[in-house]
């Protein structure tokens, strides 16, 4: 079968002239256009995405691998989403970036593509886009930062939440804050804890879309560049053999990713992103799969935010292969991966070098892992909670609702000394869902009222239709579906209503009668977000709910890689 790029570079006459001539202005000799697999390097480098700011260097290592294997590497930029920088939230633009990736891959003379992913949304957006084209694809993650060091101890992004509390209660000064921020992000790479970026890197490795150890080698470790080189080499082989994401991303692969994520204590954002990816590749996955499949998996990794260590420690302890090997009795070991070996084969020899970081399946770090999928009149289509990051004493709790209508209302009143709240209350935040914010920001682990923190209380039940940072923790119910902005019952919770959270029985119940709720629904007025044009307007009209992956409805599935018309 001729290479796809042949339809550009192998042409005679005017078209071939056009497709080759301008490329030659970069100094490429003619023989490169004669049948070498063109490997696109999809780069999310941006100085506004600090976690990916080392990607130019990484791309050079990838190119060396592509050259060595006889390919022709061509790098291209796509929209880059910096989690900490972009307003109102990177999640609002995940689907937009995926469209950029999809069309860039399809429209260009690409035989195989390497996705350079790092900061949270850069992984799902690139994988989603690539799945909708289904050309040979391999992922390379940028790697985690080294753990920070502050006043003699290791710190990472999860400490931000603790520091913020200490700052609020006066235990930490602004000067100490500034010192801590410099100590935390001290090297290249994405967040050093098992936050969303590392969760995504582990997701692609356990799905089989990346080479072994992709998830954990620190960004600044020379072995990250070795992996980049090997990824470049492998991409050429994938292009030659036409091995596509749809060959790798089977239902079994998705099940593996869910179970591995549970053992890692990965981010709740994993659910939304994996659902969206499944939707693109056409694998049937439901919210309940996350609960059912993770129910049999204990927490093996002792990593922040569920535990104490950092992703670099996981690498030194044996990396993801050691976790995967530990789970071999439950995983689909035969699932094929991108290097031509099955997941089981890749990890057969993996060793654990530190049981304080990777526990054995017989003596796990914690019995509970993964996500609990809750149902009830407050979330008929589901809501999620991460048991490993929650407080055991709050897992079964009934309390009085303290309601915030939106994020502005929350910010205005949360520290009001007159706020009628005590530690047994349930904080409810509305209108932070996919449509309501818009973009479903990471505000679900809302900070407790100052006067509660001052009592030394650090956790309360919190409920919202938003998300939580993968670095966050607490007894936080997230992703309530349907969201308040589309008239879900969350919209009708009022101050003083009683709410029961019962994690063991997977229940979230609002103690308000159906008749009363119907009456409140009759008075419901949809909020006007005031986005009358542009992408956000399109997004609001087409975004699906959290339990469906919050993709745009018209982006589900694939359009393949064929482009029927030429550019001239
Ligand atoms: Fe980029 Fe955490 S901010 S990974
Ligand atoms: Mg995040």
Please, where are the H alpha helices in 405-532? 407-413, 450-453, 514-522
- Asked if 242 contacts 1 with a C-beta cutoff of 8 angstroms, the reply is yes
Predicted confidence at residue 368, as pLDDT, reads 83
Contact yes or no for 114/62 (Cβ under 8 A)? yes
Q: From the CA of 438, how far away is ligand 1's center (Å)?
A: 20
Task: Compute, in angstroms, the gap from residue 18 CA to the centroid of ligand 1.
Answer: 41
Asked if 407 and 268 sit in the same domain, the reply is: no
64: domain CATH number is 3.40.50.2300
Query: In this structure, what CATH number is given to the domain that contains residue 460?
Result: 3.50.30.80
Tell whether ligand 1 has an atom less than 6 A from the beta carbon of residue 197. Answer: yes
> Are 376 and 340 found together in one domain?
no
Say whether the ipTM exceeds 0.85.
Answer: yes
Residues 341 and 489 in one domain: no
Using CA atoms, how far residue 281 sits from 128, 240, 246, 562, in Å, is: 8, 21, 6, 16
Q: Can you tell me which atom of ligand 1 is nearest the CA of 157?
A: 2
192 CB within 6 A, ligand 1: no
Measured in angstroms, how far is the CA atom of residue 82 from the centroid of ligand 1? 7
| Three-class HEC string of 192-250 | CCCCHHHHHHHHHHHHCCCCCCCCCCCCCCHHHHHHHHHHHHHHHHHHHHCCCHHHHCC
> How far is the centre of ligand 2, averaged over its atoms, from the C-alpha of 83 (Å)?
6
Give the other-Cβ count within 10 Å of 181's Cβ.
Answer: 13
Task: Specify if 207 maps to a domain.
Answer: yes
What distance in Å separates the CA atoms of residue 288 and residue 279, rounded to the nearest whole number?
A: 15
Assess whether 386 and 480 both reside in one domain: yes
Between the CA of 186 and the centroid of ligand 1 the distance, in Å, is: 13
- Say yes or no: CB of residue 472 within 6 Å of ligand 1: no
Pocket of ligand 1 contains residue 84 by CB under 6 Å: yes
Residue bearing the CA closest to ligand 1, atom 2: 191
Burial profile 45-60: b = 16 or more Cβ within 10 angstroms, e = fewer: bbeebbbbbbbeebbb
Report if residue 232 sits inside a domain.
yes
- Residues 557, 559: Cα–Cα separation, whole Å: 7
Q: Report the distance separating Cα 58 and Cα 142, nearest Å.
A: 8
Cα separation of 354 and 310, whole Å?
13
Token pair, residue 1, equals 């079968």
317 shares a domain with 451:
no
On whether residue 339 sits in a domain, the answer given is yes
The SS3 call for residue 452 is helix
Q: Kindly state whether residue 466 falls inside one of the protein's structural domains.
A: yes
CB-CB neighbours of 268 under 10 Å: 27
Q: What are the residue ranges in the chain where pLDDT is below 50?
A: none
Inter-residue contact 311 to 192 (CB < 8 Å): yes
Q: Report whether 261 contacts 194 (CB < 8 A).
A: no
> Do 146 and 192 touch, CB atoms closer than 8 A?
yes
Q: Are residues 378 and 288 in the same domain?
A: no
Element (H, E) at 77: strand 72-77
- Same domain? For 321 and 467 the reply is no
User: Which single residue is written with the structure tokens 């307007």?
Assistant: 537
Please choose from 83, 143, 192 the residue to mutate so as to test ligand 1's pocket, defined by most ligand atoms within 8 A of CB: 83
CA 200 to ligand 1 center in whole angstroms: 11
Any ligand 1 atom below 6 A from CB of 83: yes
Whether residue 289 has its Cβ less than 6 Å from ligand 1: no
Q: Does any ligand 1 atom lie closer than 6 A to the CB of residue 194? A: no
> Which ligand does the CA of 190 lie closest to?
1
Domain boundary among 505, 522, 539: 522
Contact 512, 497 (CB under 8 A): yes
Ligand in closest contact with the CA of 90: 2
Give all strands of the β-sheet with 507-510 in edge-to-edge order. 476-477, 461-464, 426-429, 396-404, 498-502, 507-510
Strands 38-43 and 72-77: parallel
Question: If you measure from the C-alpha of residue 524 to the centroid of ligand 2, how many angstroms do you get, rounded to a whole number?
Answer: 32
Tell me the three state secondary structure of residue 320: helix
Contact 388, 262 (CB under 8 A): no
Q: Is 189 helix (H, G, I), strand (E, B) or coil?
A: coil
In a domain, 297, yes or no: yes
The conformational region for residue 151 under phi > 0 = left, psi -120 to 50 = alpha, else beta, is left
Ligand number nearest to the C-alpha of 158: 1
Shared domain check, 316 and 377 = no
Letter string b/e over residues 248-257, b meaning 16 or more CB atoms within 10 A of that residue's CB: bbbebbbbbb
Is 120 close to ligand 1, i.e. is its CB under 6 Å away?
yes
Instruction: Tell whether 359 is covered by a domain.
Output: no
Q: In whole angstroms, what separates CA 328 from the centre of its chain?
A: 24
Q: Measured between alpha carbons, how far is 420 from 174 in angstroms, rounded to an integer?
A: 29
Claim to verify: residue 458 and residue 508 sit in the same structural domain: yes
CA of 158 from ligand 1 middle (Å) equals: 11
CA of 121 to the centre of ligand 2 (A): 8
- The verdict on residue 114 lying in a domain is yes
Q: Is 190 in the pocket of ligand 1 (CB under 6 A)?
A: yes
Are 97 and 122 a contacting pair, CB within 8 Å?
Answer: yes
Q: How many distinct structural domains can be found in the chain?
A: 2
Q: Is 470 in the pocket of ligand 1 (CB under 6 A)?
A: no
Residues 6 or more apart from 303 whose CB is under 8 A from it?
A: 193, 194, 264, 265, 309, 310, 311, 313, 314, 357
**300 is in which domain, residue-wise?**
36-146+187-347
For ligand 1, atom 1, which residue shows the shortest CA distance?
119
Separation between Cα atoms, residue 153 and residue 182, nearest integer Å: 14
74 located within any domain: yes
Q: Are residues 392 and 311 in the same domain?
A: no
- Do 327 and 410 have their domain in common? no
529 dihedral zone (left: phi>0; alpha: psi -120 to 50; beta) = alpha
Q: In whole angstroms, what is the distance from residue 42 CA to residue 58 CA?
A: 12
Question: What is the rounded end-to-end Cα distance, in angstroms, of the chain?
Answer: 25
Q: Are residues 340 and 376 in the same domain?
A: no
């Amino acid at each position: 079968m001729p290479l796809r790029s042949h339809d550009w570079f192998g042409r005679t006459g005017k078209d071939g002239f056009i497709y080759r001539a301008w490329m030659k202005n970069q100094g490429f000799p003619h023989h490169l256009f004669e049948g070498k697999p063109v490997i696109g390097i999809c780069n999310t480098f941006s100085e506004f995405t600090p976690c990916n700011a080392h990607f130019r260097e990484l791309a050079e290592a990838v190119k060396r691998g592509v050259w060595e294997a006889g390919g022709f590497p061509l790098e291209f930029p796509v929209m880059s989403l910096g989690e900490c920088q972009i307003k109102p939230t990177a999640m609002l633009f995940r689907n937009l970036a995926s469209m950029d990736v999809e069309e860039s891959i399809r429209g260009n003379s690409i035989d195989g593509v390497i996705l350079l992913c790092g900061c949270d949304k850069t992984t799902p957006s690139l994988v989603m886009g690539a799945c909708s084209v289904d050309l040979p694809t391999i992922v390379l993650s940028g790697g985690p930062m080294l753990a920070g060091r502050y006043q003699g101890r290791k710190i990472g992004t999860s400490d931000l939440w603790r520091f913020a509390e200490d700052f609020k209660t006066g235990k930490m000064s602004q000067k100490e804050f500034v010192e801590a921020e410099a100590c935390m992000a001290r090297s290249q790479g994405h967040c050093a804890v098992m936050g969303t970026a590392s969760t995504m890197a582990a997701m692609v490795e356990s799905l089989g879309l990346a080479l072994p150890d992709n998830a954990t080698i620190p960004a600044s470790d020379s072995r990250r560049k070795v992996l980049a080189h090997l990824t470049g080499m492998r991409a050429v082989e994938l292009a030659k053999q036409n091995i596509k994401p749809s060959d790798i991303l089977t239902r079994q692969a998705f099940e593996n990713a869910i179970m591995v994520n549970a053992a890692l204590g990965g981010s709740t954002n994993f659910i939304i992103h994996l659902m969206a990816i499944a939707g693109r590749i056409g694998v049937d996955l439901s919210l309940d799969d996350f609960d059912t499949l993770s129910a049999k998996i204990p927490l093996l990794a002792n990593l922040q935010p569920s535990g104490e260590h950092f992703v670099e420690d996981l690498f030194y302890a044996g990396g993801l292969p050691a976790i995967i090997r530990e789970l071999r009795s439950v995983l689909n070991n035969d699932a094929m991966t991108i290097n031509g070996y099955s997941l089981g084969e890749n990890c057969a020899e993996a060793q654990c070098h530190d049981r304080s970081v990777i526990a054995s399946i017989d003596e796990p770090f914690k019995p509970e892992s993964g996500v609990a999928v809750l149902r009830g009149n407050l979330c008929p289509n589901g809501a999620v909670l991460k048991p490993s990051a929650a407080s055991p004493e709050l897992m079964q709790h009934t309390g009085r609702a303290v309601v915030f209508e939106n994020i502005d209302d929350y910010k205005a009143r949360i520290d009001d000394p007159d706020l009628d709240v005590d530690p047994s209350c349930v904080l409810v935040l509305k209108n932070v869902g996919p449509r309501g914010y818009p973009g479903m920001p990471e505000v679900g682990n809302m900070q407790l009222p100052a006067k509660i923190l001052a009592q030394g209380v650090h956790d309360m039940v919190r409920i919202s239709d938003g998300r939580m940072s993968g670095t966050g923790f607490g007894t936080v119910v997230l992703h309530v579906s349907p969201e308040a902005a589309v008239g879900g019952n969350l919209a009708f919770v009022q101050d003083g209503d009683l709410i029961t959270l019962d994690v063991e029985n997977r229940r979230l119940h609002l103690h308000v009668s159906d008749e009363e709720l119907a009456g409140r629904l009759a008075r419901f007025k949809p909020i006007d977000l005031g986005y009358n044009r542009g992408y956000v307007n399109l997004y609001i009209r087409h975004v699906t709910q959290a339990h469906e992956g919050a993709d745009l409805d018209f982006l589900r599935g694939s359009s393949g890689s064929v482009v029927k018309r030429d550019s001239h």
